[in-house]
Every structure is written in structure tokens, then in C-alpha cells.
């Protein structure tokens, strides 16, 4: 862009840094003119739509310079890479409700939800609100009076003597929970279709803004009705008569 407009690279970078917060502040679209920007907005939305899915995703970022303070928190024990973790919440259809509250990759999913203030918000939520999450959030259901639902833990090795019917019911329950929660994995996959989230090469300080901007664009795309723009389908030609 600097070459096209005859400007310096720093001028283009400064312009992008000034514009980036504008789409990031739009939030996630849920219906005409209504957008969710914070976790409190999401909890208020769940009062009328009481089901949601939650998960965390990690994006690889640049490794901090050796010897600089704060280098270790970005090392993810799960991914074995330098990452930043983001909290993602969507509705049962996989449409984004929230994406943000980024934390260094070494932080556990449960700790991220607690430091984001989600527990305090859900304690005041109606009793019929349900948020499905994976096993990384076990214990959050107790903190939120059962609002967050996690899969049942796997049987321990010493419990292998349980009757086959009990083990089968246990596995069926875990599979049913996983099939209901898979939509949030699809939402994260749609986010990471953007190359910038495959591996973020920019400054770590601007990652949260870039992520929220992409989430807002994806949310608008998910609520776009594309059936009106499709050309009328051409009717199939009748099949040729069969020759014996």
C-alpha cells in the first residue's frame, strides 16, 4: 500500500493502527441493530436466549525477545508454543456472541473465565441459562450454580469394574454433550480461516483489537441472508430416454 500511494511504510502502519479499533468496537451482531460488545452484554442477552456454547482458543504469536520480562507467560503448556488465548462464546447455531478477553497462553481456561469476571456475571443470571463447555471448565459449574455445564469426568482406572451398562450410559452422556458443543468448535474454525489468526505476526499488544475486529466481521457475515442474491437455479433437463 505504501508503494501504491507513494507513502512511507510507517505512515500506512500508523493509519492501520488508528482504524483498527473502529471495527473492533462494533461487537458481534445478534439481530438488527443489536450488537454484543462485552461479557455483561452477553449475559443480558442470555436472559432471553438462555443457551450458549463456550470454549477458548489459542493463536500463535511472536516469541518475546530473550531476557525481556514477561516472556514465560506466553508459553503454552498445551500447544508447546508461544500463544495468546481468547474466550469464544456462541449460540447453539454456532453464531458468535463474544470473542475476546485475551490472556497469555500459559493461563488455564478456567482461570481465564474467572479473571474475565464471568463467574460474578453468571451468578446473577436466571436459573434457566445454560452454557455448555468442555472439560477444561470443570468446577465452573459449581461456582455459577450450575449455569456452566461440563461433561462428566472419564471413569478412573479403578472404576473399570463398573457394570457395562453404567459405562455405556456414561459414554453416551459424554458423546451427547460433545455433539451439542461442537458448534463452538466450528465457530473457532471459521475465525481461524483468516490467515492472520493462523499465526499472528503483528505486535502482541494489538492482537486483542485485531481479533475482535475479525469476530465482528464474521458475525455480520453469519447474519447475512444470501438467499436473495443467489441467481435463480436452472431447471434440470429431462433425462434422455433409455436405449435398449
Q: CA torsion, points 198, 204, 206, 210, in degrees to nearest 10?
A: 10
Q: How far apart are CA 228 and CA 226, in angstroms?
A: 6
The residues, ordered by sequence, that sit 6+ positions from 210 with a Cβ below 8 Å of its Cβ are 20, 24, 196, 200, 202
- List pLDDT tens digits, range 155-209: 676 666 777 787 788 888 889 999 999 999 999 999 999 999 989 998 888 999 9
What is the pTM (predicted TM-score) of this model?
0.83
Residue 54 lies in a domain: yes
Asked if residue 216 is part of any domain, the answer here is yes
pLDDT in tens, 15-68: 888 888 898 999 999 987 889 999 999 999 999 999 999 999 999 998 878 777
DSSP per-residue string spanning 102-121? EEETTS-HHHHHHHTTHHHH
Number of structural domains (the chain) is 1
In a domain, 236, yes or no: no
Distance (Å, rounded) from C-alpha 54 to C-alpha 89?
Answer: 4
In a domain, 144, yes or no: yes
Residue 107, in any domain of the structure: yes
pLDDT at 234 over 60: no
- In which domain, by residue range, is 73 found? 29-155+163-222
Task: Flag whether 230 is in a domain.
Answer: no
* C-beta of residue 145 within 8 angstroms of C-beta of residue 129: no
| Phi, psi angles (nearest 5°) of residue 174 | -65, -40
Quick check: is 39 in a domain? yes
- Average pLDDT, rounded, for the chain: 87
Q: In this structure, is residue 85 part of a structural domain? A: yes
Segment 113-137 mean pLDDT: 92
Residues forming a β-bridge with 55: 88
pLDDT of residue 82: 92
Amino acid at each position: 500500500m505504501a508503494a501504491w500511494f507513494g507513502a512511507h511504510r510507517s505512515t500506512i502502519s500508523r493509519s492501520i493502527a488508528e482504524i483498527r479499533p473502529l471495527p473492533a468496537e462494533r461487537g458481534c451482531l445478534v439481530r438488527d441493530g443489536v450488537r454484543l460488545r462485552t461479557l455483561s452484554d452477553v449475559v443480558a442477552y442470555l436472559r432471553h436466549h438462555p443457551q450458549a456454547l463456550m470454549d477458548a482458543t489459542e493463536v500463535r504469536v511472536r516469541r518475546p525477545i530473550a531476557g525481556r520480562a514477561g516472556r514465560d507467560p506466553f508459553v503454552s503448556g498445551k500447544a508447546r508454543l508461544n500463544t495468546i488465548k481468547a474466550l469464544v462464546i456462541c449460540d447453539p447455531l454456532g453464531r458468535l456472541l463474544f470473542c475476546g478477553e485475551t490472556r497469555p497462553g500459559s493461563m488455564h481456561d478456567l482461570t481465564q473465565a474467572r479473571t474475565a469476571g464471568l463467574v460474578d456475571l453468571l451468578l446473577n443470571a436466571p436459573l434457566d441459562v445454560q452454557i455448555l463447555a468442555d472439560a477444561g471448565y470443570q468446577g465452573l459449574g459449581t461456582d455459577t450454580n450450575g449455569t456452566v455445564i461440563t461433561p462428566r469426568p472419564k471413569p478412573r482406572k479403578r472404576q473399570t469394574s463398573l457394570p457395562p451398562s453404567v459405562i455405556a450410559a456414561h459414554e453416551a452422556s459424554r458423546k451427547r454433550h460433545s455433539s451439542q458443543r461442537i458448534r463452538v468448535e466450528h465457530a473457532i474454525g471459521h475465525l481461524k480461516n483468516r490467515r492472520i489468526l493462523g499465526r499472528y505476526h503483528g505486535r502482541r499488544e494489538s492482537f486483542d483489537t485485531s481479533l475482535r475486529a475479525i469476530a465482528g466481521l464474521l458475525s455480520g457475515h453469519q447474519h447475512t441472508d444470501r438467499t436473495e442474491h443467489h441467481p435463480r437455479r436452472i431447471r434440470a433437463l429431462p433425462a434422455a430416454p433409455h436405449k435398449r
